[in-house]
Amino acid sequence: MIIFPPRVSIEDQTCYLKADFSINDTIQTLWYSFPIEYKDYLVTENCDAFVIGLLHHALRLGEDIHVEGNMSSRLFYTLNNYLIPAFVLSDSRNKSLKVIAETLNDENLNIKGSCGTGISCGVDSLATLATHTGVDTSYDVTYLVYLNAGSHGDFGGEIAQRTFEKRQKNITDFSKKINLPLLKIDSNISEILKLNFQLTHTLRQVSCILTLQKLFKSYYYSAAKRFDFFEMNEIVGSWDTLILSMVATESMRFYPSTSRYNRIEKTSLVAEFELSHHHLDICTDAMATNAEINCSKCEKCMRTQLTLDLLGKLELYESVFNLDAYFERKKAFIISVINNTKTDPFNREIYSLLVENGHSKKKYLFASLLFQVESKFKKCKKSIKRIIGRS
């Protein structure tokens, strides 16, 4: 793989940072787009963003990355000596490779000294804001960043773009209320990678932010898991604390901003953050058309509502959830949590909170046994159908 130097172009008041790359003599273009007022902060001096953005692609192909131009000296060192070997260890589908750069640059490119964080209005991003605003230090968040880099759909396309635009209104309203500038970044990285978001999200989002090393000295990445959940495997969220420590440059550092808290603790923090009561958005059902921000029925909605309920804070969120839909499903969901504590760390946390609130296994024993029988019956039914289908 050859990555060529980045260039800036302007189209209809939108600014693009693009770089061509070549694999087996086929040339493609990876791009990132920004509002035009951020033009002077885009990094054309180094190829860092594009090396990180295409790293998963190269790892699957086993292709060395040849950089035609400059690259951060620090990033070059950490990739070749630590991060690439770690990715090879974490997933057997990844193949060893080297990054080879034409020139290494050890210059600090930062001119603004700002601190940014991603905003989705989910629990993780709101927990970052709850702990990194109003502290009045040089590490306070000064910019919110809204990305279209895979979280709205693994492979990009029209549905992902519509979801990105649908969620944008809530985020824009939130940014106005908290009085922080909102920077929207779009990219075709999903269409280029064509890989599962859960296996690639850390580097996708880091690549977007490395385009702005002149703007950000610090970037807070809202990690989903606490430090002690660390596990090197294909799910990058299980070890993104290590990944983030290995993608720093001379100009910018990344911090796993919520890694000291588990999910319950983060939800409790967010519940004390008043703006969250009207803007919390954790729904995974991109096709939901209900009046509230969240569908209130998917697993993530149910998990968050149950946590807030057990914390005594659910009624504060009546404008973002359909609470009737939650209460209809509450008992069945509690049974599901009880029966899946071995396989799901989030369920284990919720179960501990259930016990604290008097919801012991005994209370749901019969229903829990019935749930297990039904689950086994469904599995048997599927197996029988597969066997019949083969015969």
135, 217: one domain: yes
pTM reported for the whole predicted model: 0.89
Position 275 scores a pLDDT of 97
Judge whether 287 lies within some domain: no
160, 129: one domain: yes
Going by pLDDT thresholds of 50, 70 and 90, the confidence category of residue 363 is low
Distance CA 84, CA 237 (A): 16
Pick the more confident residue, 12 or 5.
Answer: 5
Position 157 scores a pLDDT of 59
Q: Quickly list DSSP for 145-163.
A: EEEESSTT-TT-HHHHHHH
Asked which of 231, 256, 281 is the last residue of a domain, the reply is 256
Residue 361 pLDDT > 90, yes or no?
A: no
Going by pLDDT thresholds of 50, 70 and 90, the confidence category of residue 149 is confident
366, 243: one domain: no
Contact yes or no for 21/28 (Cβ under 8 A) = yes
Contact yes or no for 33/185 (Cβ under 8 A) = yes
DSSP 113: -
Judge whether 391 lies within some domain: no
149, 223: one domain: yes
101, 120: one domain: no
Location of structure tokens 């090879």: 88
Taking residues 161-179, what's their average pLDDT?
88
Going by pLDDT thresholds of 50, 70 and 90, the confidence category of residue 284 is confident
Domain that holds residue 123: 114-256
Judge whether 362 lies within some domain: yes
Position 383 scores a pLDDT of 64
252, 140: one domain: yes
SS3 361: coil
Residue 195 pLDDT > 70, yes or no?
A: yes
Sequence letter at residue 331: K
- Count of domains observed in the chain: 3
Going by pLDDT thresholds of 50, 70 and 90, the confidence category of residue 345 is confident
Asked which of 105, 133, 151 is the last residue of a domain, the reply is 105
Taking residues 306-321, what's their average pLDDT?
97
- Choose among 221, 237, 197: nearest CA to 56: 197
Distance CA 275, CA 24 (A): 51
94, 138: one domain: no
Distance CA 295, CA 302 (A): 9
Q: Which two tokens stand for residue 279?
A: 């803007």
Position 89 scores a pLDDT of 97
Contact yes or no for 251/213 (Cβ under 8 A) = yes
Q: 70-74, 325-329, 356-360, 362-366: lowest mean pLDDT where?
A: 362-366
Residue 367 pLDDT > 70, yes or no?
A: no
Query: pLDDT by residue (tens digit) across 33-90?
Result: 999 999 999 999 999 999 999 999 999 999 999 999 999 999 999 999 999 999 999 9
Task: Kindly provide the b/e burial profile for residues 193-210, where b requires at least 16 CB atoms within 10 angstroms of the residue's own CB.
Answer: bebebebbbbbbbbbbbb
- Choose among 113, 177, 121: nearest CA to 146: 121
55, 140: one domain: no
Q: What does DSSP say about strands 114-118 and 99-105: parallel, antiparallel, or unpaired? A: unpaired
Judge whether 275 lies within some domain: no
Pick the more confident residue, 137 or 106.
Answer: 106
- What average pLDDT is seen over the chain? 91
Residue 296 pLDDT > 70, yes or no?
A: yes
Contact yes or no for 246/82 (Cβ under 8 A) = yes
Nearby residues of 169 by Cβ (< 8 Å), 6 or more positions away: none
Taking residues 95-114, what's their average pLDDT?
98
Q: Quickly list DSSP for 194-257.
A: ---GGGTHHHHHHHHHHTTTTTEEEEEE--SS-GGG---SS-GGGSHHHHHHTS--SS-EEEET
Q: Which two tokens stand for residue 15?
A: 């600014």
The tally of CA atoms less than 13 A away on the side-chain side of residue 24 is 4
73, 120: one domain: no
Taking residues 241-270, what's their average pLDDT?
97
Residue 134 pLDDT > 90, yes or no?
A: no
Run of H or E including 155: none
